[in-house]
Protein backbone atom coordinates (compact mmCIF):
# COMPACT_ATOMS: atom_id res chain seq x y z
CA UNK A 1 0.00 0.00 0.00
CA UNK A 2 1.21 3.48 -0.89
CA UNK A 3 0.05 6.60 0.95
CA UNK A 4 0.29 9.90 -0.93
CA UNK A 5 -0.74 12.99 0.94
CA UNK A 6 -1.18 16.60 -0.10
CA UNK A 7 -2.71 19.16 2.24
CA UNK A 8 -5.36 21.23 0.45
CA UNK A 9 -5.02 24.99 0.93
CA UNK A 10 -8.60 25.49 -0.23
CA UNK A 11 -11.75 24.78 1.75
CA UNK A 12 -12.35 21.20 0.65
CA UNK A 13 -10.13 18.38 1.87
CA UNK A 14 -10.88 15.64 -0.62
CA UNK A 15 -9.23 12.29 -0.03
CA UNK A 16 -9.23 9.07 -2.01
CA UNK A 17 -8.34 5.45 -1.42
CA UNK A 18 -7.22 3.66 -4.56
CA UNK A 19 -6.93 -0.09 -4.94
CA UNK A 20 -4.80 -1.65 -7.67
CA UNK A 21 -4.91 -5.23 -8.86
CA UNK A 22 -2.20 -7.40 -7.29
CA UNK A 23 -1.61 -9.11 -10.65
CA UNK A 24 -1.91 -6.50 -13.45
CA UNK A 25 -1.50 -3.32 -11.30
CA UNK A 26 -4.48 -1.61 -12.94
CA UNK A 27 -6.69 0.61 -10.79
CA UNK A 28 -9.69 -1.37 -9.56
CA UNK A 29 -11.28 0.93 -6.99
CA UNK A 30 -11.18 4.66 -6.35
CA UNK A 31 -13.13 5.69 -3.25
CA UNK A 32 -13.23 9.47 -2.84
CA UNK A 33 -14.63 11.34 0.14
CA UNK A 34 -14.39 14.71 1.85
CA UNK A 35 -12.26 14.55 4.97
CA UNK A 36 -12.52 18.03 6.40
CA UNK A 37 -12.30 17.98 10.20
CA UNK A 38 -15.09 19.08 12.55
CA UNK A 39 -15.75 22.77 11.96
CA UNK A 40 -14.48 22.79 8.36
CA UNK A 41 -16.84 23.92 5.59
CA UNK A 42 -17.02 20.43 4.09
CA UNK A 43 -17.44 18.62 7.41
CA UNK A 44 -20.84 16.93 7.68
CA UNK A 45 -21.56 15.79 11.27
CA UNK A 46 -24.36 13.49 10.08
CA UNK A 47 -22.20 11.77 7.44
CA UNK A 48 -20.48 9.36 9.83
CA UNK A 49 -22.18 9.86 13.13
CA UNK A 50 -24.63 12.11 14.92
CA UNK A 51 -24.46 15.85 15.38
CA UNK A 52 -24.63 15.35 19.17
CA UNK A 53 -21.63 13.00 19.29
CA UNK A 54 -19.19 13.97 22.02
CA UNK A 55 -16.31 12.64 19.93
CA UNK A 56 -16.75 13.09 16.17
CA UNK A 57 -15.60 10.31 13.88
CA UNK A 58 -12.32 11.06 12.16
CA UNK A 59 -13.34 11.30 8.47
CA UNK A 60 -10.16 9.69 7.16
CA UNK A 61 -10.74 6.60 9.31
CA UNK A 62 -14.36 6.34 8.17
CA UNK A 63 -13.44 6.83 4.51
CA UNK A 64 -10.69 4.24 4.83
CA UNK A 65 -13.10 1.79 6.44
CA UNK A 66 -15.64 2.35 3.65
CA UNK A 67 -12.88 1.68 1.12
CA UNK A 68 -11.96 -1.56 2.89
CA UNK A 69 -15.60 -2.71 2.84
CA UNK A 70 -15.78 -2.06 -0.92
CA UNK A 71 -12.36 -3.59 -1.53
CA UNK A 72 -13.16 -6.74 0.48
CA UNK A 73 -16.56 -7.33 -1.11
CA UNK A 74 -16.81 -10.17 -3.62
CA UNK A 75 -17.21 -7.68 -6.48
CA UNK A 76 -14.45 -5.43 -5.15
CA UNK A 77 -11.86 -8.22 -5.06
CA UNK A 78 -12.22 -9.26 -8.73
CA UNK A 79 -10.18 -7.27 -11.26
CA UNK A 80 -12.35 -6.22 -14.21
CA UNK A 81 -9.27 -6.12 -16.46
CA UNK A 82 -7.65 -9.51 -15.85
CA UNK A 83 -10.18 -11.39 -13.69
CA UNK A 84 -7.71 -11.97 -10.85
CA UNK A 85 -9.35 -12.48 -7.45
CA UNK A 86 -7.32 -10.24 -5.13
CA UNK A 87 -6.56 -11.20 -1.54
CA UNK A 88 -8.60 -9.69 1.26
CA UNK A 89 -7.18 -6.42 2.58
CA UNK A 90 -6.21 -6.99 6.21
CA UNK A 91 -7.81 -4.11 8.11
CA UNK A 92 -6.53 -5.36 11.48
CA UNK A 93 -3.07 -3.96 10.82
CA UNK A 94 -4.56 -0.53 10.01
CA UNK A 95 -7.02 -0.48 12.88
CA UNK A 96 -9.74 1.51 11.07
CA UNK A 97 -12.73 -0.61 12.17
CA UNK A 98 -11.45 -0.77 15.76
CA UNK A 99 -11.01 3.01 16.01
CA UNK A 100 -14.41 3.69 14.45
CA UNK A 101 -16.15 1.20 16.77
CA UNK A 102 -14.40 2.61 19.84
CA UNK A 103 -15.58 6.11 18.91
CA UNK A 104 -19.15 4.80 18.42
CA UNK A 105 -19.06 3.16 21.86
CA UNK A 106 -17.69 6.27 23.56
CA UNK A 107 -20.50 8.32 22.04
CA UNK A 108 -23.17 5.75 22.97
CA UNK A 109 -21.81 5.58 26.55
CA UNK A 110 -21.82 9.38 26.78
CA UNK A 111 -25.46 9.56 25.65
CA UNK A 112 -26.41 6.81 28.15
CA UNK A 113 -24.70 8.69 31.01
CA UNK A 114 -26.39 11.97 30.06
CA UNK A 115 -29.77 10.20 29.87
CA UNK A 116 -29.23 8.44 33.24
CA UNK A 117 -28.22 11.74 34.87
CA UNK A 118 -31.39 13.42 33.53
CA UNK A 119 -33.53 10.57 34.90
CA UNK A 120 -31.78 10.79 38.28
CA UNK A 121 -32.31 14.57 38.36
CA UNK A 122 -36.00 14.11 37.56
CA UNK A 123 -36.37 11.50 40.33
CA UNK A 124 -34.62 13.75 42.88
CA UNK A 125 -36.89 16.65 41.92
CA UNK A 126 -39.95 14.37 42.14
CA UNK A 127 -38.95 13.14 45.62
CA UNK A 128 -38.25 16.70 46.80
CA UNK A 129 -41.74 17.76 45.73
CA UNK A 130 -43.40 15.00 47.76
ZN1 LIG B 1 -5.89 -7.30 -12.81
- Quick check: is 85 in a domain? yes
29 Cα: distance to centroid of ligand 1 (angstroms): 11
**Enclosing domain of residue 67:** 14-129
The tens-digit pLDDT sequence of the chain (130 residues) is 666 777 667 677 889 999 999 999 999 999 999 888 777 887 777 888 888 899 988 888 999 999 999 999 999 999 999 999 999 999 989 999 899 999 999 999 999 999 999 999 999 999 999 8
6 Cα: distance to centroid of ligand 1 (angstroms): 27
- Quick check: is 7 in a domain? no
> How far apart, in whole angstroms, are the C-alpha atoms of residue 115 and residue 28?
46
Residue 120, class by beta-carbon neighbours within 10 Å (0-12 exposed, 13-18 middle, 19+ buried)? Answer: exposed
Domain count, the chain: 1
- For residues 68, 82, 15 and 61, what is the CA-based torsion angle, rounded to 10 degrees? 10
88 Cα: distance to centroid of ligand 1 (angstroms): 15
The answer to whether the beta carbons of residues 64 and 18 sit under 8 Å apart is no
- Quick check: is 5 in a domain? no
pLDDT in tens, 42-77: 777 788 888 889 998 888 899 999 999 999 999 999
Amino acid sequence: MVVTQRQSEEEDQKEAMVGKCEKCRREMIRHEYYAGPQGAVDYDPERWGRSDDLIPQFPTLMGSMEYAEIRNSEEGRVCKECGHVNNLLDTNIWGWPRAVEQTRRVNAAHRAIVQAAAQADAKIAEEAAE
